[in-house]
Amino acid sequence: MSIEAGSTRSVDLLVGNPVPQAYHGIGTMPLARSKEQILITMNGVRFLMADGATEVPCRAARELLEDRFGSNGDQVEDEKAFRMHRAAIEQAASDKYDAGQVEPVADPKIVVTAWDMASPLSRKM
């Protein structure tokens, strides 16, 4: 298999097979919102996503809501911060799911933290 210079195609280097875009979290979101309902807890906001028929319990960590989205830590502010940034939080959950960062025996399966939503530049600092 040959790849032309400047190509943006991804290749699995172990076997030389093209890698579907879905595995990169680029322009795809295999997880979809399962339910509109959310649950505010002392640890953040719980929400459900789905991969086809499989529900994936997720949580937006309280520190994410406070540090990244300005919640003061009370339930009303956590809910407001979550609802205002729900699409971005769900995308971060989907990206973690794509990357295999799923807790095998814990509930929720995916916890979105401030680190998960940090820009690549800020992660280097």
Strands (E), the chain: 11-12, 17-18, 32-41, 44-51, 54-61, 110-112
Q: How much of the chain exceeds pLDDT 90, in percent?
A: 65
Report CA-CA distances (Å) from 18 to 54, 99, 108: 27, 17, 32
Residue 47 β-bridge partners = 38, 58
For position 22, what pLDDT does the model report? 41
pTM attached to this predicted model: 0.73
**Angle formed by the axes of helices 86-98 and 75-84, to 10°?**
70
Domains of the chain by range and CATH? 30-123 (3.30.160.140)
pLDDT of residue 118: 86
Q: What is the pLDDT of residue 119?
A: 76
**pLDDT over 70 percentage in the chain:** 73
- Amino acid type, 5: A
Mean pLDDT of the chain: 80
More confident residue, 81 or 18: 81
* Rounded average pLDDT over 98-110: 91
Q: Tens digit of pLDDT for each residue in 43-87?
A: 999 999 999 999 999 999 999 999 999 999 999 999 999 999 999
CA of 58: how far to CAs of 70, 108, 111, in Å?
A: 20, 5, 6
User: If pLDDT is split at 50, 70 and 90, which confidence band does 121 have?
Assistant: low
